[in-house]
Amino acid sequence: MKIKSVRARVFEWKGKTVPPQGNFCSNAMDLLYAPQETMSTFRFHSWTVVEIETDDGIVGLGNVALAPAIAKAIIDQYLAPLVTGQDPWDYEYLWQRMYRATHAWGRKGVTMAAISAVDLAIWDILGKSVNKPVFKLLGGRTKEKIPCYYSKLYRTDLKEMQAEAQKFLDQGFTAFKMRFGYGPAHLQKGVAENLKSVEAVREVIGYDNDLMLECYMGWNLEYAKRICPKLEKFQPRWLEEPVIADDIDGYAELNQRTGIPISGGEHEFSLYGFKQLLDRKAVSVVQYDTNRVGGITAAHKINALCEAYSVPVIPHAGQMHNYHLTMSTLASPMSEYFPMHDVEVGNELFYYIFDGEPVAENGFLQLDDHKPGLGLSLKTEYLKDFNIVE
Ligand SMILES: O=C(O)[C@H](O)[C@H](O)[C@@H](O)CO
Ligand SMILES: [Mg+2]
C-alpha cells in the first residue's frame, strides 16, 4: 500500500458564534495591557482537515486546530512531499522524516500540530486497512467504557455557572472542570472573584465529585503561590496551566510546593517535551493533545513514559484522536469532554466538522470495537456554515 495524495483544507466557521462575555477565561494575554478581548487569540474558529488517500482507495482523516492556515501551508509545502509514495505502515519512519526534515524551525507549536494531522490520517488508514479501530492497534480495550469529565464552566455570572454545573450533574457527570476569570492584573478583587466562583460550583456539585480548575496560562508564579493556599480547602483534583508553558521551573515549584496537583501539557510537544516535564516533576497530570503533540505515533510513546513515571495522562479536549489513546492504556484514567454546543471558544467546532464522536452517557464514553480507524467521517450538515479553503 502506498500514499497517493495528501489534501489539506481549512474549514473556516462563518456560522453563529457566542461572543465571550467579560472575564470568561483567564489567559496568557491578561498580563498585558492589551485593550482588546484577551481571549481572542485563543478562540478556534477554523480547523484544518487532512485527507490522505492510498493507491488502493483508502482515505485517512486527520485534523489540526492550532494556526490551521499555517498548518495547511506546512503540510502542503513540506510534509506532503515527504510522505507521498511511501507505505503508511512505515509510520515511525514517516514520522521521523517529518520531524527531522522540519527540525530547524519545527519541534514545537504549529509544525508539530501539522505533523500530528498527517500522522492521525496515517493511523486512520492503518485501522481501516485491517478493519480495526485505532485503539486496537495501540493496546486494545483497557476499559469497559471511558470515564469523562464535563469541561466548560467558563467564568460567567455565578448563578449561570451554578445552573450549568447542576445541568451536567443531573446528566450523571461526577467530575467538572471550570475556568477562572481573573489573574494578577485584577489584583485582590480578582482573587476574591476567583474564590467566589470555585465556592459557587462546589456548592452545587458538593465534595463527592471531582472539581478541576483551569487557569489557561493566565497567572504567574507569584500569584499562583499566593492564591493556592486559599484554594486548597476546595480540594481541587488539579490546577491546570497556572503559568505559561515555558515556565517549567514555575510548574515544578507549584507542583512540589503547594498542596494542589498541577496539570499541563496541551501546549507542550513531542516525547522530549514531556520527558522534560516528567523529569522535573513539573506536572502531576499530563494533558497533551494528540492533534498537537505529534499525533498518535508521539502520543503512544508519551503514554508509555507516563506509565513509567506513574503520572496519569488525561489528554486535552475530547475528540476521537484522544479517546483512542485513553482507551488503549491504563495510564489514562479518563477523558476530557466538551458537549456539543453553540460555537464559543471553538473546541466544540469539531462536532460541526466530523461525525462519529461519542456522546457522554452518565459521565462515560464508549468506543466501538468494530468501527475501523479513528471512526470519523466528514459531516455535511453544517457545510453551509463553513468557508472551505483548498
Ligand atoms: O483544557 C482545556 O480544555 C483548554 O485549556 C481549553 O481548550 C481552553 O479553551 C481553555 O478553556
Ligand atoms: Mg486546559
Q: In what order do the strands lie in the sheet with 59-64?
A: 59-64, 46-54, 3-13, 386-389
pLDDT of residue 35: 61
pLDDT of residue 234: 98
Percent of the chain with pLDDT over 90: 95
Cα of 240 to ligand 2 centre, how many Å? Answer: 6
For 35, counting Cβ atoms within 10 Å of its Cβ (0-12 exposed, 13-18 middle, 19+ buried), the class is exposed
**Mean pLDDT within 287-311:** 98
Q: Report how far residue 194's alpha carbon sits from residue 264's, in angstroms, rounded to the nearest whole number.
A: 20
pLDDT above 70 for 71: yes
Residue of the CA atom closest to atom 3 of ligand 1 = 317
Dihedral over alpha carbons 328, 113, 350, 145 (to 10 degrees): 10
Index of the ligand 1 atom closest to the CA of residue 179: 11
Index of the ligand 1 atom closest to the CA of residue 336: 3
**Mean pLDDT within 269-274:** 98
288: nearest Cα among 260, 321, 248: 321
**pLDDT bucket at 232, cuts 50 / 70 / 90:** very high
Cα of 273 to ligand 2 centre, how many Å? Answer: 17
Report which DSSP code applies to 110.
Answer: H
**pLDDT bucket at 22, cuts 50 / 70 / 90:** confident
pLDDT tens figures, 26-35? 999 998 876 6
Of 186, 267, 316, 324, which one is the catalytic site residue?
316
Whether residue 135 contacts residue 324, with contact meaning beta carbons closer than 8 Å, is answered with: yes
pLDDT above 90 for 121: yes
pLDDT: is 36 or 199 the higher one?
A: 199
pLDDT of residue 107: 97
- Joined together, the cell numbers standing for residue 21 give 462575555
Q: Which residues does a 6 A CB cutoff place in the pocket of ligand 1?
A: 25, 151, 179, 214, 216, 240, 266, 316-317, 336, 345, 347
Name the residue type at position 336. Answer: E
pLDDT of residue 32: 87
Say whether 316 is catalytic: yes
Q: ipTM, 2 decimals?
A: 0.98
Cα of 216 to ligand 2 centre, how many Å? Answer: 5
pLDDT tens figures, 181-195? 999 999 999 999 999
pLDDT of residue 367: 98
Cα of 351 to ligand 1 centre, how many Å? Answer: 16
Residue of the CA atom closest to atom 10 of ligand 1 = 216
Radius of gyration of the chain (CA): 20
Ligand with an atom nearest the CA of residue 151: 1
Ligand with an atom nearest the CA of residue 44: 1
- Joined together, the cell numbers standing for residue 32 give 498585558
Computed over every residue of the chain, the mean pLDDT equals 97
- Joined together, the cell numbers standing for residue 218 give 493566565
User: Residue 378's beta-bridge partner residues?
Assistant: 354
pLDDT above 80 for 36: no
**pLDDT bucket at 42, cuts 50 / 70 / 90:** confident
Q: Report how far residue 306's alpha carbon sits from residue 311's, in angstroms, rounded to the nearest whole number.
A: 5
pLDDT of residue 40: 81
Q: Report how far residue 176's alpha carbon sits from residue 199's, in angstroms, rounded to the nearest whole number.
A: 13
pLDDT tens figures, 300-314? 999 999 999 999 999
Cα of 43 to ligand 1 centre, how many Å? Answer: 10
Index of the ligand 1 atom closest to the CA of residue 287: 1
Q: Report how far residue 242's alpha carbon sits from residue 250's, in angstroms, rounded to the nearest whole number.
A: 9
Index of the ligand 1 atom closest to the CA of residue 241: 5
Q: Report how far residue 225's alpha carbon sits from residue 323's, in angstroms, rounded to the nearest whole number.
A: 33
